[in-house]
Structures are given as C-alpha cells and as structure tokens.
A = this chain, B = another copy of it.
C-alpha cells in the first residue's frame, strides 16, 4: 500500500501544486479594463484640460462614495434602472453602485441642506450595459460633471454650461497632433504650422467639407469632428406632445422613442411609437413634422409664431427661455456652434428644462475610410425637481449641469497611439544615477539619496554592478534625459560626470553643484507627448 501511495503522491506532484489554477480565468470583469501607464498618461492629459476649465469657471470640487443606498437611486433613471449594479445583501443596508454623478449630487445637496453651489466631480460610474469597448463603451467609466445649483436669474447658468462644453471640446486637442475638434459651422481646432495633409470631413447638419491642411509632420493621427452640439428643452417636447395628442401617461416613453432619432430613421422611430407603444399614426405624424426640424435662433422665433405650439404654456416658456439662451450664447461668441434640434430628447427622467448634447465624429486618418461615429461625448441639462425628491419637505433646488464622457476620447487616442507605436513618456525621471565601474553601489545609493532629498526625480538600476551600457540603454528606453555617472576617478576629484542622453555630451560637475545643474537642465516643463 505504501508503495502505491508514494506513486500516487509522485503523480500528484507532477501535476503541479494546484490543478485548480489551470481553470482560473485571468481577466478583468466584463466591460471593464485596466489603465496601463501609457493609457494613464493620455487620461491625465485629458483630465488636466477638463479640470482647468472647471476651475476657470470658479467651481469647487466634491466626492461621494462609489455606492449609495439602493433606495437613493430608485425611481430616478426611468427605463435605464435595470442597468444598475446592486451589491449582495451581506447583512445591513442594501447598496448599489452609482449610475451617474447627478443623483449623488442631488442627494448631497439635500442631505447638507445646500441651496447654492457650483461644483465639479470626476469619478467612475457603473452601468450593466452592453459594452463595446473598442468604441469606448464600458461598464465602468469616468464622468466629469460640472453643475450649478441655486435659484438664479434665468438662463445665465445654463449659458455658462454650454460655454464650458464648447471650451472643453475646443481644447481637447491633446496636442494638435492627437485630437482636433471641429464643428459643423466653422469650429476648428488650432492647426499648428507644418502639419500633415489631411481631410477634415464634417457630417451632421452641415454639408461635408473637404478643407485640406498642408504639411509634413506625420503626427496627425486623426481628427475628431463635432458632429453637432444640439439644444432643446423638455418643456418644448412636452408641449409638443400635448398639442400633437399624446396621452399624458405616454410622454416619457414617447420621449424615449424620439431620443433614438440620432441613430434611427424617422420611419423606424414612428414604427416603434405606433407598433410597440400604441400611438395613433396621425399623432405620430404630427410629432414627425416637428422633430425633424432643426436650426438656430430663427427656428425658435418661428416656433414662437406656431399657432398651436405658442398656445401651450409649457412650450411657450421653453421657447422663451431658449430665445434668451441664444442671446447669451451670442455674447459668449458660441451661438453659431449650437443648433436647436427638436429631436434631441435625452434618456433620463430627471430633466425639466433645457437639454443639450455634443456628438463627435471621428474623421478618418486615411482617405476613403468611413467617418466613425464616436457618439455623445458631452451632455446635460436642467433638472429642477431632483433635489426636491430627496428633501424631506420637498424643497426644490434648481440645478443645471453637464457631463463629459471622456472614455470615448481616451479610446480613440489610445488606439491610434497603439497603431503608430508612438512613444509616450510614462515617468518624469530627470536623471539616472549610474556607475562606470563595479563596486560602486554604495556611492550610487548615497548620491541618489542626496538627489531625492533635494527634490530631484532620480532612478538607479537595482543591481549591484550594472554595466554602463545597460544603464544608458535604460535611459534611451524610458526617456530619461540625463545620467549622473560615478567613477573612481570622479570620486577622487569630487565631481560627477553629467551626460546628456540625447547629445551624448559629458561634463564633469562639482558634486555640490550637481542639484542646481540638473534643475537648470530640466527646467522646461515636462511634456508627456
């Protein structure tokens, strides 16, 4: 028997310590991803642009927990509520992961009895949606929200939100050569001198243009064209539904159908309204006459004269506010970038007034490719009733805000970087502490400690006796611009050899001057590009 056991044990040992390991799936959860250092470099650059803009507009910043009491989220998202991630009941409270940053913001305002704040919040939100990761649709993704809460004179905060969206989409160029934002009517990213030839295609309400930029730098990877920045108003939609004969109970579900007009044709949407949602065909036709209209402030004025729509109190309020909004947008110099589109509806239940959405189109890097719809990258609107849903006494705090969906922008930039094998620095190290001979580890440790204590960004190879060639190669690979080389002769002379990796020039620097010299040579702001 003992022989048999020994045999079996031997066999088991050959199978490895743990057979279970083979079945283990090594992956992130569906619809999620890690960010590599390269991807983080892109992400931080995009966040910098957005945060600078939010701060330029005087916003404070808050943060909330990643989960909320389940009941906090209940009844806020309409049909989308099925996408909420719930936590397991492990005793105690029932929790859900946040679905957006707007509902937690409203809960925060009500809980702290705030009636007045301008804040931004950048954090991940969670939706059990069908992911399409190559196009930047994830189940865990960042939102960058800016909101203005408080009772103010009409349309001033609303106009500022649209101004912010324009500023961010304009500056999200991530260096001229990465992203270029261009609008339907003359919106154009700054194009630096000497950029490569490239066609800028536009779609949406404007006719395709084929402006050509001349140049030679190969770094233009692609450009993002702003398909459209549209505004509408929930009150105009509701007024329109009323005069077209939609029953009150069907307002929200018909609103959802209208919202699909960005992806589907009017015929398809009409079929859904009539076939699935039981709307009378003549009612649908009346809606169709309206929602296929879009234009600028002139369309607002035209609809203010519409004999039916102008009789509806809600619609009239909405149109009046939009007229005022366009006046302010004119003063901000952005009225021509924004179109009034009656088909814009937005999915979420909580909007009560002005709504807006920016859609990007990626124009192809290569002639002949189809422009790729990147989808909505920024959206928002007015939600005057949400805080009241949380307040024990139902006190309302009017709010308006916007949300930037950065993930789609990240995705495109990353794909193109991958494709071109573009170099991106992922550290900020200024100098590598190296040695020319063996047995100098102690001296390297002493020197790097001095540099760290003086605030210099420094690295060394974690080897006792690294070869000089390997140390220089490490600098080439990771983009470190300087090498501080210790040698026996230098130690005797009280100097350090400072080498520029790019020019290969070497200079002896007195040890006490080394920190200043490194600071002087690396005083240019570091750029990740």
A positions within 8 Å CB-CB of B:
16-17, 21-22, 24-30, 32-37, 40, 43-44, 55-69, 71, 85-90, 92-93, 95, 97, 107-108, 110-112, 117, 119, 124, 126, 128, 140, 148, 150, 152-153, 156-157, 159, 163, 167, 328, 331-333, 389-390, 392, 394, 426-429, 441-442, 445-446, 449, 452-453, 455-459, 462-464
**Whole-angstrom distance from the CB of A26 to the nearest CB of chain B?**
5
- Assess A22 versus B446: contact at CB under 8 Å? Given A35-B63, A89-B88, A426-B60: no
Is A111 a contact partner of B61 (Cβ separation < 8 A)?
no
Which residues of chain B are near A140, meaning CB under 8 Å?
65-67
A426–B28 Cα distance when bound, in Å, is 37
Choice from B21, B37, B60, B85 contacting A37 with Cβ under 8 Å: B60
Answer whether A333 and B449 are a contact pair too, CB < 8 Å, given A90-B85, A427-B59.
yes
Pick the residue among B88, B156, B390, B426 that contacts A462 (CB under 8 A).
B156
**Contacts A58-B427, A60-B37, A457-B55; is A449 near B26 (CB within 8 Å)?**
no
Q: Are B58 and A445 in contact (CB under 8 A)?
A: no
Partner of A111, one of B27, B58, B124, B331: B27
A82's nearest neighbour on chain B, judged by CB, is: B90
Asked if B26 and A390 make an inter-chain contact with CB atoms under 8 angstroms apart, the answer reads yes
Chain B residues lying within 8 Å of A69, measured Cβ to Cβ, are: 25, 27-29
Q: How many copies does the complex hold?
A: 2
CA distance A106 to B494 in the complex (A): 43
Query: B87–A442 contact, CB under 8 A?
Result: no
Using known A-B contacts A128-B90, A167-B452, determine if residue A427 contacts B55 with beta carbons closer than 8 Å: yes
Closest B residue to A170 by beta carbon equals B453
Chain B residues with CB below 8 A from A452, complex form: 56-57, 163, 167
Q: How far is the CA of A29 from the CA of B87 in the complex (A)?
A: 12
Bound complex: CA A428 to CA B54 (Å): 10
Q: What's the minimum C-beta distance from A153 to chain B, rounded to whole angstroms? A: 5
A22 touches B392 (CB 8 A): yes
Among candidates B56, B67, B85, B111, residue contacting A32 with C-beta atoms closer than 8 Å: B67
In the bound complex, residues from chain B placing their C-beta under 8 Å from that of A167 are 452-453
Query: Which chain B residues border A37 with CB–CB below 8 Å?
Result: 60-62, 117, 119
Chain B residues positioned under 8 Å from A59 (CB to CB): 427
Alpha-carbon distance A36/B111, docked complex (angstroms): 12
Interchain CB contact under 8 A, A449 and B27: no
Nearest CB in chain B to that of A84: its residue = B90
**Cα-based distance from A12 to B506 in the complex (angstroms):** 87
Chain B nearest CB from A306 CB (Å) reads 28
A58, B153: Cβ atoms closer than 8 Å: no
In the assembled complex, the CB of A56 is this many whole angstroms from the nearest CB of chain B, namely: 5
Chain B residues near A43 (CB, 8 Å)?
63
Known pairs A22-B392, A58-B457, A88-B89. 14 more at Cβ < 8 A?
A16-B394, A24-B390, A24-B392, A26-B107, A28-B64, A29-B67, A29-B93, A34-B108, A35-B62, A35-B63, A61-B426, A86-B88, A156-B445, A159-B445
A382 CB, min distance to chain B CBs, angstroms: 13
With A24-B71, A462-B148 known as contacts, the answer to whether A331 contacts B95 (CB < 8 A) is no
Alpha-carbon distance between A130 and B212 when the two chains are bound, in angstroms = 63
